[in-house]
Amino acid sequence: MIEPARLAAARWFRSKQRRIASVAEVERAPLPPAELVIVEVAFADGGAAERYLVPQVNGREPEDGDGAWAALVEAIGAGSVVGGNRGRFVAERTPAFDRLVSTPPTERALRVEQSNTSVVVGGSLILKVYRLLEAGENPDLEVSAYLTDAGFADTPAVAGHVRYVPDVGEPGAAAMLQAFVPSTGDAWAAMLATLAADPERATAVAARIGALTARLHAALASRPDRHDFPARPATTAETAGWRAAAEDELARAIASVSGTDHDRLIQLAPAVRARFADAFGRAAGAETVTRIHGDYHLGQLLAHEDGAFSVIDFEGEPARPMAERRLPASPLRDVAGMLRSFDYAARVSQRDTGVDADAWLPHGRAAFTDAYGRGGPLVEAFELEKACYEVHYEASNRPGWLWLPLGAIERIVTG
C-alpha cells in the first residue's frame, strides 16, 4: 500500500494544499518488470477524490534503468492491451512511431516536471506519464495528435499513447509518447538571458515567437470540418461569457488585496469594466473561435540552439475542469498570455540585471504583435483579465510581486 505521506510528498501530486484522509488501491495491472497501479485519494475536506497512476517496481517508484518506462514504450509499439482488476490499459501507436523509435531503450527521467513524469527513452522519444488520471479526452494528447496529423512541425510529433479504460466509467489518458526534441531550456530562460545580453536581439526573439504563434493558430484552425477543432465566428453567448468571466476575475482580484492596493484597484475598476464592455461587446460575429493552447507563456516553449522554438504542453490551465479546457476560445487569449509573460520577463530582468523594462517592452510587444498580425482592444481586454488573475495569484502566493500585475492594469487602462 502506498503511504499517504509518501504520496503527498511526490513532485507530481497536485493537491498538496489538501489533507489526505485515505489512499485506496483501485487497480493493479502487470507490465513486467513493473506494475501499473492506480490509487484513489480521498481528502479530509470531503471534496472530490482524485485518482493517480503510480507505477511500481518492487514496491517503489521506477528508477532509470529499471525498464518500467521502456516497457510502456514497447507496449505502445505493440499496440498492447494490459488487463487489470477493474479495467485495462490500452496502448496505441501512430504512423510516426516507426520513424522515431530507436535502440537501445535507455531511460532518463527529466527532473523538471511537476504534475506529470517525463522520461527520455532511447534518445529519440519522450514518454509523458499523466499521474493525475482524469476521465475524458485529455487536451494535451488530443491537440498534440491533431497538430501532428496537420503537419505542424513546431511541436513534438506524437508517436503513441496509453489510455486507461475502466470496466465502469469513462476512459482517460495515462501516457503520451512523443518525439524527443533536444533543447537548451525553455523560452523564459532564453528571453532572460537575451534581455541581459542584448535587448535588441530580445526584440527579434519576440518577433520569432509572434510568427510561431501565428503558425500555431493557423494550424489549429486549418480543419474547420472537425467538430472538435472548429474555426467559426464567436457567438453572442460566447462573448457575453468572456465579459462575465473577466468581470468575475476583476472582482476576485479586488477581494484578494487590502490597503492601498485595494484602494488602487477600486479606483481603476470602472475603467477596467468599461474596457471589458467595449471590447467584448464588439466581438460577437467579428472574432473567430478555435481550439487554443490555453496556458500560453514563455515556459511553454522549448528553445533550440538555432534560435527556433517548439510549443509544448497543451493541457490548458490545470485548475479548470477538463471539459472547459477543450472548449473553443479566442486565439487572442494566447496572444495576451504571451504578452503578460513578456512583461514578467522584462520586470524580472530589470530586477536582476538592470534592463530598462519600460524602454524594451513597447518594442518587444510591437515585434510580437506585428509578427503575429494582430493586436488591439480585444487583446488588451484579455490582458486585463489575465492581469486580474495574476493579482489574485500573487496575493495568495507572492505578495511581494503584487506591484507587477497592478502596474500592468494601470498602464493598460491609462493608455
User: What is the per-residue pLDDT across 229-252, written as a single tens digit (0 to 9) for each?
Assistant: 999 999 999 999 999 999 999 999
Beta carbons within 10 angstroms of residue 228's beta carbon = 12
Instruction: Report pLDDT for 35.
Output: 97
Cα separations in angstroms, 40 against 23, 104, 112, 283: 6, 35, 25, 43
10-residue mean pLDDT profile of the chain (415 residues): values are 86 91 96 97 95 95 95 96 97 92 84 85 93 95 96 96 96 97 95 97 98 98 94 96 97 97 97 97 93 97 96 90 92 98 97 96 98 96 98 94 96 90
DSSP string for residues in 168-201: SS--EEEEEEEE----SEEHHHHHHHHHHH-HHH
Instruction: Report pLDDT for 319.
Output: 77
Instruction: Report pLDDT for 113.
Output: 64
Instruction: Report pLDDT for 2.
Output: 82
H-run or E-run covering 256: helix 236-256
User: 83 has which bridge partners?
Assistant: 88
**List of domains in the chain:** 4-179 (no CATH), 185-414 (3.90.1200.10)
- Taking only the tens place, the pLDDT of each residue in 316-349 is 988 788 889 999 999 999 999 999 999 999 999 9
Beta carbons within 10 angstroms of residue 182's beta carbon = 10
